[in-house]
């Protein structure tokens, strides 16, 4: 029994977790979210349905976890933002990476599918906020707070608003395909936001 719960067991569990999340991503990309079932995810991952239900309560929870996993480092830790002391450089790096992410066709289909669900399913939207958008926003806000302490942003700056102005235009441009997503665009969002919340 001790071997059963040892390193081999952990590795097997992690492999099955990764297989399930990859299967969920692949299926949502190939089908529509509505058509994907927990059974289909289990079959694709080569695990039993119960293996999924032991870990996640619902299909939406698996899909959000699948999206979340894309933001994890190889060791399963969540991403933190660079803090070189140069706020503009750090934000430019993050925003250019975000533009690249949205320009990746497989990510595009997954996040478009998830976004359609979020729009129409307040429960999934709350889950997405709690598990993904929330922690990411907190990481970004921590970087802005450090800049605020260094006197690089106004001491009374509304950091939630600053984040929204930085990110929402990019997201909406991508969602409505209303303009090109370029590094120049990423940079101009950073510059306008820094001007709006300058000391």
Kindly indicate which of the ranges 18-26, 35-43, 142-150, 158-166 contains the residues binding a second copy, using the contact rule CB under 8 A: 158-166
Report whether 22 contacts 1 (CB < 8 A): no
Q: How far is 91 from 105, CA to CA, in rounded Å? A: 24
Tell whether residue 89 is a contact of a second copy (CB under 8 A): no
Report whether 189 contacts 170 (CB < 8 A): yes
Tell whether residue 189 is a contact of a second copy (CB under 8 A): yes
- The least distance separating a second copy from the CB of residue 100, rounded to whole angstroms, comes to 19
Tell whether residue 98 is a contact of a second copy (CB under 8 A): no
For residues 5-64, which are near a second copy according to CB under 8 A? none
Q: How far is 37 from 67, CA to CA, in rounded Å? A: 16
Angle in degrees, CA 73, 78, 80, rounded to 5: 100
Residues in the site for a second copy, rule: CB under 8 A? Answer: 112, 115-116, 118-120, 122, 125, 128-129, 133, 158, 160-162, 164-165, 167-169, 171-173, 175-179, 188-189, 192-193, 195-198
């Amino acid at each position: 029994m001790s071997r059963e719960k040892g390193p081999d067991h952990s590795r097997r569990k992690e492999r099955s977790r990764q297989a399930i999340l990859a299967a969920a991503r692949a299926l949502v990309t190939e089908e529509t979210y509505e058509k994907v079932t927990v059974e289909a995810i289990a079959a694709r991952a080569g695990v039993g349905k119960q293996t999924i239900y032991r870990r996640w309560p619902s299909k939406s929870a698996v899909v959000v976890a699948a999206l979340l996993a894309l933001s994890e480092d190889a060791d399963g830790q969540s991403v933190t933002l660079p803090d070189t002391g140069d706020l503009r450089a750090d934000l430019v790096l993050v925003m250019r990476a975000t533009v690249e992410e949205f320009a990746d066709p497989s990510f595009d289909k997954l996040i478009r599918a998830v976004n359609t669900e979020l729009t129409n399913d307040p429960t999934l939207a709350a889950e997405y906020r709690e598990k993904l958008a929330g922690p990411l926003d907190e990481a970004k806000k921590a970087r802005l707070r450090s800049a605020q302490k260094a006197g690089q942003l106004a001491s009374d700056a509304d950091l939630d608003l600053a984040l929204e102005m930085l990110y929402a235009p990019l997201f909406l441009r991508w969602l409505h395909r209303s303009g090109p997503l370029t590094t120049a665009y990423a940079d101009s969002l950073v510059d306008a936001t820094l001007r709006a919340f300058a000391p």
